[in-house]
Amino acid sequence: MEKKLLLGDEAIAQAAIDAGISGVYAYPGTPSTEIMEYVQASAEAQNGKIKAYWSANEKTAMETALGMSYAGKRALVCMKHVGLNVAADAFINAAITGANGGLVVLAADDPSMHSSQNEQDSRFYGKFALLPILEPSDQQQAYDMVRYAFDLSEELALPVLIRITTRLAHSRAGVAQRAVREQNELKLPANLRQFVLLPAIARVQYRDLLSKQEHLRKRALTDGFNIYIDAEDKSVGIIACGLAYNYLVENFDNAKVPHPVLKVGQYPLPLDMVRRLYAECDSILLLEDGYPMVEELLRGMLQLGKPVHGRLDGTLPRDGELNPVLVARALGLQTTSGQPVPQIVKARPPRLCDGCAHTDAFMALNEALQAYGRGRVFSDIGCYTLSALEPLEAINSCVDMGASITMAIGAADAGLVPAVAAIGDSTFTHSGMTGLLDAVNNNSPITVIILDNSTTGMTGGQTSSAFGKVEDICRGIGVAEEHIHVLKPLRKHHEENVEIIRKELEYQGVSVIIPRRECVQTLNRKVREKARAKQAQE
């Protein structure tokens, strides 16, 4: 079959379509966003055969997928690594309920934090939940693993976690598809109490999950994603997890590594293979594109065994993504370097687009806050986080989705009055609404700026769950009508906008100010599409 040139994300999406999913659920987050977008653009989603829509957040996505699994159909749920924190309650408990229709959870990690606030390693969640984890090394294997994961999920009646990283998600390579599988028929669980986690039932289900662990370890030995590649030089044995394998073999002609290598793609770890490598080699080198999870296990707290090298002893950097040069250095191989970067080259950090509504909103806020001094704006995750940088320097926090409103409440409780929260429309419906309810219930003296650009901007303009609903939600939660204001963030309205914000900062209760103007990126895209449609008509 002819190969298609696909991003890792797209390979995963195509595999899920071919595996007969009936639904995909997600919240946008780099580097996972393109999975949903690819499915949405497919004929299967366009003609309604596959449900493919953005959920309000990762938890609702995870639960929706679990509901589809309950009904016997296959579902994929996708998120970035920190999204799995949001979905964690549902995820961990889905391991206890188990699956009915195939359920695959895709977490895209971001080592080096290209677009994230941390580089947590989702494999720990899989281990925590006692679920099988798959970690592909390339785009073709990503495709193959998704196909396998759905079969495995139905066979074991368990969700399966697939962990990828940014490099794989956002790198293109040729991918061959396999035969398309039909979707499942609607089919209730054989045991209608399987998903009822009352303590008495949960205890039984948990024991069932524990009893499956030995089988999971066996499958990691037999199912072909963990490979033992023997070689002559046993001074060091190498365990290379997922993508790290590529960085290893990049350093050797024809991918021939002189040392024994255990290529890991499936967890729990294949114990027999690890045992053999450890027994036959003088030392072990761990290559993991993420946290030193396997390394920590092998090393042990007391380090009583053979030397284990990796991120924990400085053989590799403790943080950041791996690359071929770092691996070469870890093996003591010669490396090259080009010329240094000339000193005249200046940093060019990302910035808000020209004409962005957020710029006007923050210029008004900055001026309104002048009387109180700096340091009282709690913000959130989105394009507007860039207003922390020059020239605006308008915000003082960015922690997790929704934390702006709740941190403002806490700071106000501590006496920092007025405290301001700045949050985007999509982030508000993701995790801000419950915080706003806290504020209303406490009558907190905070001013909440909901920056409404009518899209999920930072990830490329996906539909915002908040669209057309922001004021109604605020009213419904109990914010007083006279303290809800919609502004037009444009320079020509600057003075009046400053005045409105200034007045609300003085109010000793919850105010919501909604600067509303469409994202210039999505607006330009619409204008271009319109022009093209018009041209096509003529």
Partner 1 sequence: MKKDIILAGVGGQGILSIAACIGLAALREGLQLKQAEVHGMSQRGGAVQSHLRISDSPIASDIISEGKANIILSVEPMEALRYLPMLASDGWVVTSINPFVNIPNYPLLDEILREIWKCHHYVTVDADDMAKNAGSIKAANMVMLGAASPLLGLTATSLEAGVSELFAAKGQAIVDLNIKAFRAGREWSISQIKP
What does the binding site for partner 1 look like in residue numbers (CB under 8 A)? Answer: 3, 5, 7, 30-31, 33-34, 114-115, 138, 167-168, 170-174, 243, 246-247, 249-250, 255, 323-325, 328, 335-342, 344-353, 383, 386, 458-460, 532, 535-536
Contact partners, residue 124, CB within 8 Å, separation at least 6? 291, 293
Q: Which helix (H) or strand (E) holds 446?
A: strand 446-451
Q: Which is closer to partner 1, CB of 97 or CB of 120?
A: 120
Answer whether 45's CB lies under 8 Å from 54's CB: no
Q: Which is closer to partner 1, CB of 218 or CB of 351?
A: 351
Q: Which is closer to partner 1, CB of 132 or CB of 461?
A: 461
Rounded least distance, CB 391 to partner 1, Å: 8
* Helix, strand, or coil (residue 78): strand
Task: Give the span between the Cα atoms of 452 and 465, in whole angstroms.
Answer: 12
Rounded least distance, CB 123 to partner 1, Å: 20
Rounded least distance, CB 220 to partner 1, Å: 23
Q: Which is closer to partner 1, CB of 353 or CB of 433?
A: 353
Rounded least distance, CB 354 to partner 1, Å: 8
Write the DSSP assignment of 197-208 as a string of letters. --HHHHHHHHHH
Rounded least distance, CB 6 to partner 1, Å: 11
The 3-state secondary structure of 108-157, one letter per residue: EECCCCCCCCCCCCCHHHHHHHCCCEECCCCHHHHHHHHHHHHHHHHHHC
Rounded least distance, CB 345 to partner 1, Å: 5
Q: Which is closer to partner 1, CB of 138 or CB of 295?
A: 138
Q: Which is closer to partner 1, CB of 326 or CB of 416?
A: 326
Rounded least distance, CB 119 to partner 1, Å: 14
Long-range contacts of 216-223 (CB under 8 A, 24+ apart): 216/132, 216/156, 216/268, 217/268, 217/269, 217/270, 217/271, 219/132, 219/152, 219/266, 220/132, 220/266, 220/267, 220/268, 220/269, 220/270, 221/270, 221/271, 221/272, 221/273, 223/148, 223/152, 223/266
Q: Which is closer to partner 1, CB of 347 or CB of 371?
A: 347
Q: Which is closer to partner 1, CB of 7 or CB of 209?
A: 7
Task: Give the span between the Cα atoms of 82 and 348, in whole angstroms.
Answer: 26
Rounded least distance, CB 387 to partner 1, Å: 12
Task: Give the span between the Cα atoms of 162 and 210, in whole angstroms.
Answer: 20
Q: Which is closer to partner 1, CB of 279 or CB of 345?
A: 345
Task: Give the span between the Cα atoms of 132 and 20, in whole angstroms.
Answer: 20
Q: Which is closer to partner 1, CB of 251 or CB of 266?
A: 251
Residue 288: Cβ within 10 Å count: 25
Rounded least distance, CB 383 to partner 1, Å: 7
Alpha-carbon distance values, 138 to 103, 225, 316, 387 (Å): 22, 12, 22, 36
Answer whether 517's CB lies under 8 Å from 364's CB: no
Rounded least distance, CB 289 to partner 1, Å: 11
